């Protein structure tokens, strides 16, 4: 196995230059160092955009590694080996610090960075290079003349390193854009409409002022992020037609916002970081103002780094009471949420670690901050309205715990009406017995019932997580909850005219929910897509003011997705070929079951740049988010790592 003959001619000039090639160990060290350098140079442009000094660092360290690799190929001295090992280990140390305590400089000082595929590959290569160099320094190899004899073992030893280089450089090109602007296109002759101009006009509505202080608080031995020190945040209860002025004071160590989920606010008040505002930095204050046009059950939550911040506790109920109509004797809002301070579930390697942690610790579910049995007061004969708010991603299961099965609830002890879903009143809801009610994250169900003459009414979770007991006295008998039938909103209540459909559909858009494995933001992910595209480079649907827009939502995945549209109300037209045969349904959060197809329509009557995303927060964080935008509306905000705005 010799290629000496073939090299005979090539050897001559090399010998003439008195160059000698190093041995195999040095060659391995050189190739591993070169690979790490190549990865650093691949990720360099993105770092330049985010924070130029880091870009310079990656440029210099990449070039230094290339230079070191060249030196190693031709020098066999132990000094080169020692310097090379030290240089590689220094880079590894810096990486370790940046991933554990964080670096004192940068756009986000002292905040540990997440571990990605590219930097992990570079680090392993540096360690492998350093290992070879340390060995080399202790036992220098005989220099050899150019024209190395081919031997299989040393070449095989290169393979893992070469694979790491391919993976690392490949992942290094899959960074996220450092800045994305969500402005809608402007047609010729059209005037730009800045998002800021789309705010509530001043008016004489009764003013209700609230202050929400976002602050970390110790709850149950863990640090939660709260509004006003409690999880959920304070319940905001106003009357239809009130003008809300909410001051957000940020005492968190991170920037944040507030989004008014389900409320048809003006676009400038929507609270989406990077689209309608910059996330409010630590120490700063921001004020939202809008008129509560619609009565109903809503909620509010952070829309910055949402998958993390909402899970940590930044949410609360928002109830808008109708001006007329039957009033309940007692009206309770019940927020179902994860126990505050839950380990962060997110995308990528950290997310995986979070899921594994959760699989061992078990998911903890709470109602209005209480785990176990929450007790609410009520007397026999009183009419009760319960506003159930889903703030829980669902129970995770499946291969990577990626499937979030929505929360199920059963009301026992009385017959009840479901009087509203997502704030939209249902027409002639009949009194029904216990059924399993699915409550996807973002959805709201309003129940109305009369307390029995004796005993309690209970809300139970068939999976046994939590319960709510209303009233006092003997508890109702409970049958096998899991075998109860599932409530279907499409066949409940009585049909009625749907004015939205009056003049027919102007435009139909496909919304295909899909997923594919890949690398995104340097992380291995099950990327979640809408029409094959992942946020922030996702689909933008352009709608014109006054149009009736139909969305055909096709779920090609085996997961549940709660599709939520900001600023508008979706009227259900069809599910899997069947139109609703009960009350019309006007929703803002659609629970789309695996492989379901839904047709919904909305009137484009609220100009702006609006998010349309899956409310399973981890799905949105790994791409399942789109925009519904009105042509001409522009934003001066941007999202991405340069601004730090990250709405998902
Ligand atoms: Cu509950 Cu995009 O929001
Ligand atoms: Cu989803």
Task: Point out which residues pair with 299 in neighbouring strands.
Answer: 261, 317
pLDDT at 341: 52
Instruction: Tell me, in angstroms, the distance from the centre of ligand 1 to residue 271's CA.
Output: 9
- Average model confidence (pLDDT) for the chain? 89
Lowest-confidence region among 93-102, 333-342, 525-534: 333-342
Model confidence at 11, in pLDDT bands (50, 70, 90)? very low
Is the pLDDT score of 448 beyond 90? yes
DSSP state of 23: -
Tokens matching residue 67: 């230079």
pLDDT at 542: 97
Per-residue pLDDT of 575-605, as tens digits, reads 999 999 999 999 999 999 999 999 999 999 9
Per-residue pLDDT of 533-572, as tens digits, reads 999 999 999 999 999 999 999 999 999 999 999 999 999 9
Q: Does the Cβ of 613 fall within 6 Å of ligand 1?
A: yes
Question: Which ligand has an atom closest to residue 528 CA?
Answer: 2
- Residue % of the chain over a pLDDT of 90: 69
Per-residue pLDDT of 140-176, as tens digits, reads 877 665 555 667 888 888 999 999 999 999 888 888 8
- The strand pair at 383-391 and 330-338 is best described as parallel
- Of 420, 604, 429, 624, nearest in space to 513 by CA: 624
Per-residue pLDDT of 412-429, as tens digits, reads 999 999 999 999 999 999
Instruction: Over range 206-226, report the average pLDDT.
Output: 93
Instruction: Over range 101-122, report the average pLDDT.
Output: 85
pLDDT at 176: 82
Is the pLDDT score of 345 beyond 60? no
Atom of ligand 1 nearest to the CA of 613: 2
Model confidence at 16, in pLDDT bands (50, 70, 90)? very low
CA dihedral of 519, 520, 526, 527, whole degrees rounded to 10: -130
Q: Does the Cβ of 303 fall within 6 Å of ligand 1?
A: yes
Please write down the long-range contacts of 236-239, taking CB distance under 8 Å and 24 or more positions apart. Answer: 236/210, 236/300, 236/316, 236/317, 236/318, 236/319, 237/318, 237/319, 237/321, 237/333, 238/208, 238/292, 238/318, 238/319, 238/320, 238/321, 239/206, 239/292, 239/320, 239/321, 239/322, 239/323
Residue 455 and residue 476 in contact, taking contact as beta carbons nearer than 8 Å: yes
More confident residue, 609 or 497: 609
Question: Which ligand has an atom closest to residue 404 CA?
Answer: 2
Is the pLDDT score of 213 beyond 50? yes
More confident residue, 503 or 529: 529
Residue nearest ligand 1's atom 1 by CA: 261
Instruction: Tell me, in angstroms, the distance from the centre of ligand 1 to residue 392's CA.
Output: 13
Instruction: Tell me, in angstroms, the distance from the centre of ligand 2 to residue 397's CA.
Output: 14
Instruction: Over range 443-470, report the average pLDDT.
Output: 93
pLDDT at 400: 55
Atom of ligand 1 nearest to the CA of 299: 1
pLDDT at 230: 95
Q: Which residues contact 637 (CB under 8 A, 6 or more apart)?
A: 181, 182, 195, 273, 274, 275, 276, 277, 278, 643, 645
Instruction: Over range 450-465, report the average pLDDT.
Output: 91
Model confidence at 352, in pLDDT bands (50, 70, 90)? low
Q: Does the Cβ of 259 fall within 6 Å of ligand 1?
A: yes
Residue nearest ligand 1's atom 3 by CA: 261
Per-residue pLDDT of 636-647, as tens digits, reads 999 998 899 999
- Of 547, 541, 542, nearest in space to 504 by CA: 547
Model pTM greater than 0.75?
A: yes
Main-chain phi, psi angles of 485, to 5 degrees: -75, 160
Most confident of 65-69, 100-104, 337-341, 523-527: 65-69
pLDDT at 589: 98
Q: Does the Cβ of 536 fall within 6 Å of ligand 1?
A: no
Model confidence at 363, in pLDDT bands (50, 70, 90)? low
**Number of CB atoms found within 10 A of residue 630's CB:** 20
pLDDT at 340: 67
Q: Where are the alpha helices (DSSP H) in 193-280?
A: none
Q: Does the Cβ of 622 fall within 6 Å of ligand 1?
A: no
Instruction: Tell me, in angstroms, the distance from the centre of ligand 1 to residue 76's CA.
Output: 61
Lowest-confidence region among 4-18, 131-145, 226-240, 464-478: 4-18
Question: Which ligand has an atom closest to residue 302 CA?
Answer: 1
- Residue % of the chain over a pLDDT of 70: 90
Per-residue pLDDT of 249-273, as tens digits, reads 999 999 999 999 999 999 999 999 9
Model confidence at 343, in pLDDT bands (50, 70, 90)? very low
pLDDT at 300: 98
Is the pLDDT score of 359 beyond 60? no
């Amino acid at each position: 196995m010799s290629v000496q003959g073939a090299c005979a001619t090539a050897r001559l000039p090399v010998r003439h230059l008195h160059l000698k090639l190093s041995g195999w160990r040095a060659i391995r060290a050189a190739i591993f160092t070169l690979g790490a350098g190549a990865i650093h140079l691949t990720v360099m442009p993105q770092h330049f955009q985010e924070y130029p000094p880091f870009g310079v660092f990656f440029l210099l360290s990449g070039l230094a590694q290339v230079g070191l690799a060249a030196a190693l190929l031709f020098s066999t001295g132990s000094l080169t080996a020692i310097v090379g090992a030290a240089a590689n280990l220094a880079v590894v140390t810096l990486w370790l610090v940046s991933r554990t305590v964080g670096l004192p400089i940068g756009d986000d000082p002292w905040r540990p960075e997440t571990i990605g595929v590219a930097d992990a590959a570079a680090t392993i290569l540096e360690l492998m290079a350093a290992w070879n160099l340390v060995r080399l320094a202790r036992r220098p190899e005989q220099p050899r003349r150019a024209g190395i004899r081919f031997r299989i073992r040393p070449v095989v030893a290169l393979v893992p390193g070469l694979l790491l280089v391919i993976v690392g450089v490949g992942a290094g090109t899959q960074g996220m854009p450092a800045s994305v602007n969500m402005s809608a296109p402007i047609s010729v002759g059209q005037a730009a409409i800045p998002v800021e101009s789309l705010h509530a006009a001043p008016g004489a509505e009764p003013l209700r002022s609230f202050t929400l202080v976002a602050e970390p608080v110790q709850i149950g031995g863990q640090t939660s992020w709260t509004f006003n020190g409690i999880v959920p945040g304070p319940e905001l209860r106003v009357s239809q037609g009130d003008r809300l002025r909410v001051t957000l004071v940020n005492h968190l160590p991170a920037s944040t916002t507030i989004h008014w989920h389900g409320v048809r606010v003006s676009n400038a008040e929507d609270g989406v970081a990077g689209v309608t505002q910059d996330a409010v930095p630590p120490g700063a204050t921001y004020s939202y103002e809008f008129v509560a046009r619609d009565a109903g059950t809503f909620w509010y939550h952070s829309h910055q780094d949402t998958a993390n911040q909402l899970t940590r506790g930044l949410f609360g109920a928002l109830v808008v009471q109708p001006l007329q109509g039957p009033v309940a004797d007692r009206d309770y809002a019940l927020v179902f949420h994860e126990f505050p301070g839950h380990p962060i579930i997110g995308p990528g390697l950290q997310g995986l670690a979070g899921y594994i942690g959760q699989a061992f610790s078990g998911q903890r579910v709470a109602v209005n901050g209480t785990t176990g049995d929450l007790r609410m007061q009520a007397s026999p004969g009183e009419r009760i309205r319960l506003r159930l708010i889903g703030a829980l991603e669902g129970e995770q299961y499946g291969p990577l715990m990626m499937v979030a099965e929505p929360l199920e609830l059963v009301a026992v002890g009385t017959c009840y009406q479901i009087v509203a879903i997502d704030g939209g009143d249902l027409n002639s809801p009949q009194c029904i017995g216990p059924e399993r009610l699915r409550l996807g994250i973002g959805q709201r169900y309003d129940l109305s019932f009369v307390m029995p003459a004796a005993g309690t009414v209970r809300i139970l979770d068939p999976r046994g997580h939590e319960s709510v007991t209303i009233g006092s006295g003997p508890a109702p008998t409970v049958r096998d909850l899991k075998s109860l039938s599932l409530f279907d909103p499409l066949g409940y209540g009585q049909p009625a005219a749907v004015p939205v459909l009056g003049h027919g559909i102007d435009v139909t858009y496909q919304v295909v929910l899909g997923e594919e494995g890949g690398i995104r933001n340097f992380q291995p992910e099950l990327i979640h897509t809408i029409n094959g595209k992942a946020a922030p480079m996702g689909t933008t649907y352009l709608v014109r003011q006054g149009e009736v827009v139909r969305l055909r939502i096709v779920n090609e995945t085996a997961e549940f997705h709660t599709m939520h549209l900001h600023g508008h109300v979706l009227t259900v037209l069809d599910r899997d070929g069947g139109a609703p045969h009960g009350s019309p349904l006007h929703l803002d959060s659609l629970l789309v079951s695996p492989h379901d197809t839904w047709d919904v329509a909305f009137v484009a009557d609220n100009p702006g740049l609006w998010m349309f995303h899956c409310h399973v927060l981890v799905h949105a964080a790994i791409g399942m988010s789109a925009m519904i935008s009105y042509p001409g509306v522009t934003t001066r905000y941007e999202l991405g790592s340069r601004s730090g705005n990250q709405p998902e």
